[in-house]
Amino acid sequence: MTFDLASAYRSYHGSLVRMLWRRTGDRDRAEDLAHEAFARAAASPPVNPRPWLFAVALNLVREEGRRGAIRSRRLQLYRAEGPQAVPGPDEGVEREERVARVRRALLHLADRDREILLLKAEGFSYDEIAETLGLARGAVGTTLSRARKKLVEAYHRQEGGRDAAS
Amino acid sequence: MRHPDDGLLEEQLDGELAEDAARDLEAHLAACPACRERLEAARALRAEADDLVAALGEPAPRPAADDLPDSLRRAPRRGMPWRAVAWAASVVLAVGVGYAGGTMGRRQGEATAPRVGTPTEPPSVAATEPPAAGSDREPRAGAVARPQADAAEVRRPDLAAEPGADAANRFAKAAPVGPPASPSVAQKAAEREEQAGFALESRPAVSLDPAIRALGGSIRLLDGLSATRVEVTWLRMPSGDSAAVVELTYADPAGHPIVLRQSRTTPLAEALGAADALGRRRDAAQAIAPAAEAPNRRAADLPDGEVSWVDAAGFRLVLRADADADSLAKLRARVR
């Protein structure tokens, strides 16, 4: 079945941008990365679009991180999300606080743990997660279990004051 | 069944366990209170973790965010080699082609041709916006070309006019657009579009002024020669910014072409090799080369040698000539 760019875009672009935005905290960067992933898909159409697109995008994030170009962006994560974000379930100032705390907690996770949580939140199945992250299918459960645990721990460790690691 | 590991419990909670494995797990849990506790603890952790991630929220929505943008509609055919062109090719907004004869480049006569550091206009963001963005120039003495007012409307070929799913699926050649000033220019533009496989907007230019403005007030020229052709191409970055790439064509005494391409560098443009990609795209389009980035595959009439560098002012320059490395180095030294 040939790769239908427009259809893939309609199906996955929003989800990809959201995942990248949650990953990087930067709306523009998320859009750029998503655009780049789709452009590459247009140039070499993938067989399995969703894992491919997300894998490409996550690799791009990792590469940029490795090049150290984006270190300063992390500081942005500590500032209030403000108009960039549409509120999650909670409301008000507490919500902004919470978002900031979750972001800080996420920073403590290894790349893979962070990514697996974000992919799960986008509705990826274990098979899709395995394909996207290059994991064995049997390893997805344990990785998720660990990642969830670490996120919750990192979140609560911040309780009672700013995280020392910031 | 032996005590399940954490991964198995997680699979159960995420509904990913196969039927028989799930049955085995149920059986074990029925008989093992310790594992029942572990399952409940895992359930709580999972719920909290998922809540936390959900608390991150969504980015603010943008209108029509799920429609394939024009920049991706005109994605290149599969098999085109360089990955940078995947965005670069889709975004050419304006090409100016000028045939200048004797009036071009004679710097004494070119009253408004500044060198580096002596801009005719203060470099500004407006100067680097794509012409179609509405920055209509005020009339300038000596400049024959004007941005065509309706260029903005014809900027993008109306692929939506094509039936149904074909519109998005067509990595199609766009119909030539643009109101060229003369038939020969139109012809050239049409040919180029056919070869390049995407829409170009032709804006005839017979002076360096548009190029200088496009670059933000300065231009690098090859000393001692007069440019016979100036091309300005706008590339839109994925971020939405636009960058101008100016290509000057000279002829050496023997009549061989020398091409100098320049653009202001940005980290993103550098990373994607913008100026180089533009050149390679044209080369490959003319050479009909399907291979990967192979610098040795060029059409016979294009210069063979290439040298590329970034100057002190932050411009990426690419010089192409039928010359060996020494001659290229000498040529490079004459770029000011």
Quick check: B72 and A88 CB within 8 A? no
Instruction: Supply the pTM of this predicted model.
Output: 0.47
Instruction: Tell me which DSSP letter residue B160 carries.
Output: G
Q: What is the pLDDT of residue B227?
A: 85
Quick check: B57 and A86 CB within 8 A? yes
Q: What is the pLDDT of residue B64?
A: 62
B261 forms beta bridges with: B247, B318
Q: What is the pLDDT of residue B211?
A: 87
Length of chain A: 166
Q: What is the pLDDT of residue A2?
A: 74
A121-A125-A128 Cα angle (round to 5): 105
Say which residue, A31 or B62, is predicted with more confidence: A31
Give the DSSP letter string of B272-330. TTHHHHHHHHHHHHHHT--SSS-TT---TTS--EEEEEE-TTSEEEEEEESS-HHHHHH
* Complex ipTM > 0.90: no
Maximum C-alpha span of chain B: 97
Query: Residue A66's Cα: distance from chain center in Å?
Result: 16
A69-83 per-position pLDDT tens digit? 554 544 444 444 444
Say which residue, B42 or B187, is predicted with more confidence: B42
Which residues on A lie below 8 Å from B10 (Cβ)? Answer: 141-142, 144-145, 148
Q: What is the pLDDT of residue B137?
A: 39
Q: What is the pLDDT of residue B14?
A: 97
For A155, the closest of B52, B86, B171 (CB atoms) is: B52
pLDDT of B177 > 60? The answer is no
Using CB atoms within 10 Å of the CB of residue B206, give its burial: 0 to 12 exposed, 13 to 18 middle, 19+ buried: buried
Say which residue, B23 or B103, is predicted with more confidence: B23
pLDDT of B257 > 90? The answer is no
Average pLDDT over residues B42-59: 95
State how far the alpha carbon of B70 is from the alpha carbons of A7, B103, B132, B228, B236, in Å.
14, 38, 15, 33, 11
With cut-offs at 50, 70 and 90, classify the pLDDT of residue B244: confident
pLDDT of B332 > 60? The answer is yes
With cut-offs at 50, 70 and 90, classify the pLDDT of residue B128: very low
Instruction: Tell me which DSSP letter residue A32 carries.
Output: H
Give the C-alpha separation, B109 to B105, whole Å. Answer: 8
For B267, the closest of A69, A83, A146 (CB atoms) is: A69
B277-309 per-position pLDDT tens digit? 555 555 444 443 333 333 443 334 456 788 888
Give the C-alpha separation, A77 to A88, whole Å. Answer: 16
Which residue of A23, A26, A38, A103 to mutate against B (max B Cβ within 10 Å)? A38
Number of Cβ atoms within 10 Å of the Cβ of A93: 9
Q: Give chain B's radius of gyration (CA, Å).
A: 28
With cut-offs at 50, 70 and 90, classify the pLDDT of residue B80: very low
Residue of A nearest to B13 (CA): A141
CB B56 within 8 A of CB A24: no
Q: What is the pLDDT of residue A19?
A: 97
Quick check: A39 and B10 CB within 8 A? no
Token readout for B233 is 């191409």
Query: Residue B231's Cα: distance from chain center in Å?
Result: 16
With cut-offs at 50, 70 and 90, classify the pLDDT of residue B87: very low
* Burial track B83-116 (b if 16+ CB lie within 10 A, e otherwise): bbbbbbbbbbbbbbbbebeeebbeeeebeebbee
Which residue of B8, B40, B46, B52 to mutate against A (max A Cβ within 10 Å)? B52
B103-125 per-position pLDDT tens digit? 333 333 334 333 344 334 333 33
Which residues on A lie below 8 Å from B53 (Cβ)? Answer: 22, 102, 117-118, 120-121, 151
Average pLDDT over residues B152-158: 36
State how far the alpha carbon of A122 is from the alpha carbons of A12, A17, A109, B263, B285, in Å.
10, 11, 18, 39, 40
Average pLDDT over residues B325-330: 85
Q: What is the pLDDT of residue A127?
A: 97
Using CB atoms within 10 Å of the CB of residue B309, give its burial: 0 to 12 exposed, 13 to 18 middle, 19+ buried: exposed
With cut-offs at 50, 70 and 90, classify the pLDDT of residue B74: low
Q: What is the pLDDT of residue B236?
A: 67
Give the C-alpha separation, B250 to B259, whole Å. Answer: 6
Token readout for A91 is 């409301």
Average pLDDT over residues B260-273: 69
For B55, the closest of A17, A28, A88 (CB atoms) is: A88
Q: What is the pLDDT of residue A159?
A: 64
Average pLDDT over residues B184-204: 43
B127-B154-B285 Cα angle (round to 5): 85
Q: What is the pLDDT of residue B112?
A: 37
Tens digits of pLDDT across chain A (166 residues)? 578 888 999 999 999 999 999 999 889 899 999 999 999 998 888 989 999 999 999 999 988 777 665 545 444 444 444 444 565 565 677 878 888 999 999 999 999 999 999 999 999 999 999 999 999 999 999 999 999 999 999 999 986 545 444 4
Most confident of A10-14, A114-118, B142-146, B255-259: A114-118
Give the C-alpha separation, A116 to A151, whole Å. Answer: 11
CB B56 within 8 A of CB A118: no
Q: What is the pLDDT of residue B119?
A: 38
Q: What is the pLDDT of residue A111?
A: 93
Quick check: B53 and A149 CB within 8 A? no
CB B206 within 8 A of CB B103: yes
Q: Give residue B204's identity as a one-letter amino acid code.
A: P
Report the side by side order of strands in the sheet with B305-310. Answer: B227-236, B242-251, B257-264, B315-321, B305-310
Which residues on A lie below 8 Å from B72 (Cβ)? Answer: 5, 9, 35, 38-39, 42
Q: What is the pLDDT of residue B218?
A: 87
With cut-offs at 50, 70 and 90, classify the pLDDT of residue B85: very low
Q: What is the pLDDT of residue B125?
A: 36
- Chain mean pLDDT for chain B: 63
Most confident of A61-70, A99-108, B7-16, B180-189: B7-16
Residue with tokens 């050419």: B92
